[in-house]
Amino acid sequence: MSQDTLVKRQFGHRARLALSPVQVLRTDSQAHAARTLWNLLHAWWQMMPKEKRTLANADTAIRQARVDIDFLAVLPAQAAQAVLRTYFQAWKNCWDGRADAPNFKGRFRTVMSVDIPQGRDLNITRVHRRWGQVTIPKVGRVRFRWTKDLPVGKHAGAQNRITGARLVKDALGWHIAFRVQTLEVKPGPHPGPEVGIDVGVTVPIALSDGQTYEHDQWLTEREQTKLLHLERRAARRKQHRKPGEPTSSRLRHTYDQIAGLRAKAKRRALDWQHQTTTAIARAYGTVVVEALTITNMVKSARGTAEEPGKNVARKSGLNRSISGEAWGRTVTMLTYKTARHGGTLHEVPAPGTSRRCSACGFTTPGSRESQAVFVCKNPDCGWSGNADHNAARNVLHLYRMGLAFIPAAGRAVVRRAKRVKPAAAR
């Protein structure tokens, strides 16, 4: 097989860790040390003149800090270097217009994480079908859930290997995210058909061929009842807290329980999105979606004191539903999954796709009778059908007319780049 038919692929795989109580304390200490080191770097950056803000000077500063502050010694030296590189990359992203300027990391607002930059330190082995083991520096051997085959042992090599990992803590506990590099066969053109996609709230994904993908509530009725009970308990306990008084342990424990249920719902939503987008990428060669500006769609309708908004509560509920469906994440998944299977993803203008008839092409007032039914009021047409199916057919028709343009991610970079300060202002 020639090298022209092979392509390098880099992706991440996240697995749940099974830490003992002692290992949890060690990992938490490393994460707090990494956050403290970031804050020390940011303070050093603000105090230093511009000509002395170099990587070499910053490296000297953190080495001295690790000597002077005993608490930072729990963080491995390579993880400390990873914090340094991440901080400098954050400033580069800011200067290039891809992100905001880095700032201090708060104790309770920041995601706890520790980087393991070198994959050879992990020493991954598979114990049996469901569990594997990994070595975490200054923590020890830890079991993790084996849900995906990784390039370890005889399957590893120069091109197929794990290049590093990151430990991340969420409401469900500690996880490890492996950085995997593989050499795979370059996919050929996908022979599948073209399809248009309409995303919505009632019907999350509707295809132009009439197929739909729907889901139930992410939490069961029992879990929803428990979540409501915890939110009410948190509200009652918060009423008894005086202004400026620290959060009590009971209230913080209630917040942790609420975060655990919401994290469980998000994990189920991610799993559904992955399965759905994978099925679409495998079945269709050309996928067409709407170019939605979601940030404008979820803006509040509250208005101002002089001009208060209307139907504020109703609009707030709609905004929560739109954010819960995560349409942007669906498009992101479809973008790289269609490319992996040899297909392509295109975007078309969104205005009018839900109000225009897909049979005659006219937009007649009153055709959208309800959320689910579309009946064309054009006397020469009279087509009727599912409203989401009609919108998906319009999306595909716009692509066939040649109205597709660059993906939304590219436009976001262009918009952010317009707000970048000139080089002299840095």
| Domain shared by 33 and 160, yes or no | yes
249 within a domain of the structure (yes/no): no
The set of residues, in sequence order, having a beta carbon less than 8 Å from that of 316 and lying 6+ positions away, is: 300, 301
258 within a domain of the structure (yes/no): no
Burial class (CB in 10 A: 0-12, 13-18, 19+), 385: middle
Q: Is 80 within 8 Å of 115 (Cβ atoms)?
A: no
pLDDT of residue 152: 83
Residue 361: give the domain boundaries. Answer: 189-216+272-426
**HEC assignment per residue over 37-73:** HHHHHHHHHHHCCHHHCCHHHHHHHHHHHHHHCHHHH
267 within a domain of the structure (yes/no): no
Domain total in the chain: 2
Q: Could you give the CA distance from residue 328 to residue 286 in angstroms, rounded to a whole number? A: 18
242 within a domain of the structure (yes/no): no
| Domain shared by 6 and 145, yes or no | yes
Return the H-helix or E-strand segment holding 408. helix 408-417
| Domain shared by 180 and 194, yes or no | no
The set of residues, in sequence order, having a beta carbon less than 8 Å from that of 315 and lying 6+ positions away, is: 300, 301, 309
Q: Say if residue 326's pLDDT is above 50.
A: yes
Q: Is 330 helix (H, G, I), strand (E, B) or coil?
A: helix
Instruction: Kindly report, residue by residue over 115-143, the tens digit of the pLDDT.
Output: 999 888 899 998 888 999 999 999 999 99
Instruction: Kindly report, residue by residue over 237-278, the tens digit of the pLDDT.
Output: 888 888 878 888 888 899 999 999 999 999 999 999 999 999
Q: Could you give the CA distance from residue 176 to residue 164 in angstroms, rounded to a whole number? A: 10
224 within a domain of the structure (yes/no): no
43 within a domain of the structure (yes/no): yes
pLDDT of residue 412: 39
pLDDT of residue 417: 35
| Domain shared by 165 and 205, yes or no | no
| Domain shared by 370 and 426, yes or no | yes
pLDDT of residue 91: 92
Average pLDDT over residues 72-78: 91
pLDDT of residue 268: 93
| Domain shared by 197 and 289, yes or no | yes
| Domain shared by 177 and 205, yes or no | no
pTM beyond cutoff 0.75? yes
Q: Which residues pair with 185 in a beta bridge?
A: 6
pLDDT of residue 184: 82
Instruction: Kindly report, residue by residue over 198-217, the tens digit of the pLDDT.
Output: 888 888 898 988 888 999 89
| Domain shared by 306 and 408, yes or no | yes
Average pLDDT over residues 350-363: 81
| Domain shared by 171 and 298, yes or no | no
Q: Say if residue 307's pLDDT is above 80.
A: no
Q: Could you give the CA distance from residue 92 to residue 322 in angstroms, rounded to a whole number? A: 32
Q: Say if residue 426's pLDDT is above 60.
A: no
Domain end residue (candidates: 146, 166, 186) = 186
Domain end residue (candidates: 169, 186, 203) = 186
Average pLDDT over residues 100-108: 89
77 vs 321, which has greater pLDDT? 77
Average pLDDT over residues 303-320: 73
pLDDT of residue 398: 87
| Domain shared by 127 and 73, yes or no | yes
401 within a domain of the structure (yes/no): yes
259 within a domain of the structure (yes/no): no
Domain end residue (candidates: 165, 186, 207) = 186
| Domain shared by 36 and 156, yes or no | yes
| Domain shared by 6 and 30, yes or no | yes
Least confident of 25-34, 86-95, 296-305, 331-340: 296-305
